[in-house]
């Protein structure tokens, strides 16, 4: 933990503390997921902060272990590459984006039920739909890792050959898409929320990339307009000879 970047360490700490607190309070009959978990927007238990807080809640030890293990494995590389502020922005947008996609998924899957109920009856009916976990943000992390380090070779349990990060990310996305479409009975995993984390992560990366190119293009045009001032105030920031000349 001492060697982990600051934001990665805080994400791990907050998730573990919240899970321990939730486990303790459940023994006293207090369910934090009722207030912090993501509910459908028509539910009486929906609150505006839930698209943010749900990503710090977990159902059980296995749930939090695998999510935090993924954060532990992949987040440090992203935070070191982007910086803490940029990484935190990416993580939160991926998580909130996953919540938005989950809400849209519920809206489509509950069309018939939503037409049958209204008012207070609808609010109580939709209370039973809830999503918790950092998986959406974690899938955003996986996507970013595959984007930044596509050729890094990784080993997966029970697979004896190395797999490139890009291939792993694509494989995960396909599996989640197929699992979401199949909608098997008893499957309570929010597959489309996982894909939503990837989608919003991709949009953030594209936005950063576009903004950087636009900034670089404008900077290039500015320098082009000042061709007459060849020894202007920017000239001191460039080498005037090859560094290997010595």
pLDDT for res 233: 37
pLDDT for res 154: 84
Residues 181 and 85 sit within 8 Å (Cβ to Cβ): no
Give the separation between CA 105 and CA 95, rounded to whole angstroms.
15
Most confident by average pLDDT, 62-66, 179-183, 232-236: 62-66
pLDDT for res 198: 96
Give the separation between CA 241 and CA 219, rounded to whole angstroms.
23
Q: How many CB atoms lie within 10 A of CB 161?
A: 7
Give the separation between CA 95 and CA 51, rounded to whole angstroms.
8
Q: Model confidence over 188-218: pLDDT tens digits?
A: 788 999 999 999 999 999 999 888 776 766 6
DSSP run (H or E) holding 154:
strand 153-154
SS3 238: coil
> Is residue 231 pLDDT above 70, yes or no?
no
* Integer CA distances (angstroms), 5 to 21, 56, 109, 123, 149, in order: 24, 19, 40, 42, 18
Is this model's pTM higher than 0.85 or not? no
SS3 39: strand
Region of poorest pLDDT, from 59-63, 106-110, 116-120 = 116-120
pLDDT band at 127 (very low <50, low <70, confident <90, very high): confident
Look at phi and psi of residue 130 and say left if phi exceeds 0, alpha if psi is from -120 to 50, else beta: beta
> Is residue 234 pLDDT above 50, yes or no?
no
pLDDT for res 174: 93
* Integer CA distances (angstroms), 64 to 67, 99, 159, 180, 213, in order: 5, 18, 24, 21, 38
Q: Which of 66, 72, 57 is nearest to 7 (CA)?
A: 72
pLDDT band at 58 (very low <50, low <70, confident <90, very high): very high
pLDDT for res 125: 72
Domains and CATH numbers, the chain: 6-212 (1.20.1540.10)
Share of the chain above pLDDT 70, in %: 81
185 or 103: which carries more pLDDT confidence? Answer: 103
* Residue that the structure tokens 């950087």 belong to: 212
| Terminal-residue alpha carbon distance, the chain | 44
pLDDT band at 155 (very low <50, low <70, confident <90, very high): confident
Give the separation between CA 50 and CA 35, rounded to whole angstroms.
7
Q: How many CB atoms lie within 10 A of CB 205?
A: 16
């Amino acid at each position: 933990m001492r060697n982990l970047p600051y934001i990665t360490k805080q994400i791990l700490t907050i998730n573990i503390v919240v899970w321990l607190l939730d486990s303790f309070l459940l023994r006293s009959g207090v369910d934090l997921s009722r207030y912090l978990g993501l509910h459908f927007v028509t539910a009486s238990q929906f609150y505006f902060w839930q698209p943010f807080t749900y990503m710090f809640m977990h159902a059980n030890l296995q749930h939090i272990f695998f999510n935090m293990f993924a954060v532990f494995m992949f987040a440090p590389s992203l935070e070191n590459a982007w910086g803490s502020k940029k990484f935190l922005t990416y993580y939160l947008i991926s998580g909130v984006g996953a919540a938005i996609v989950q809400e849209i998924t519920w809206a489509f899957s509950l069309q018939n039920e939503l037409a049958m109920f209204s008012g207070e009856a609808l609010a109580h009916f939709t209370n039973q739909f809830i999503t918790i976990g950092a998986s959406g943000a974690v899938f955003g992390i996986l996507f970013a890792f595959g984007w930044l380090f596509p050729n890094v070779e990784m080993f997966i349990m029970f697979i004896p050959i190395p797999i490139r990060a890009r291939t792993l990310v694509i494989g995960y996305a396909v599996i989640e898409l197929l699992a979401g479409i199949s909608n098997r009975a008893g499957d309570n995993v929010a597959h489309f929320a996982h894909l939503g984390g990837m989608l919003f992560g991709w949009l953030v990366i594209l936005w950063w990339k576009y903004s950087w190119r636009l900034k670089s293009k404008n900077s290039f045009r500015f320098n082009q307009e000042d061709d007459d001032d060849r020894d202007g105030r920017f000239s001191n920031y460039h080498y005037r000879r090859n560094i290997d000349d010595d």
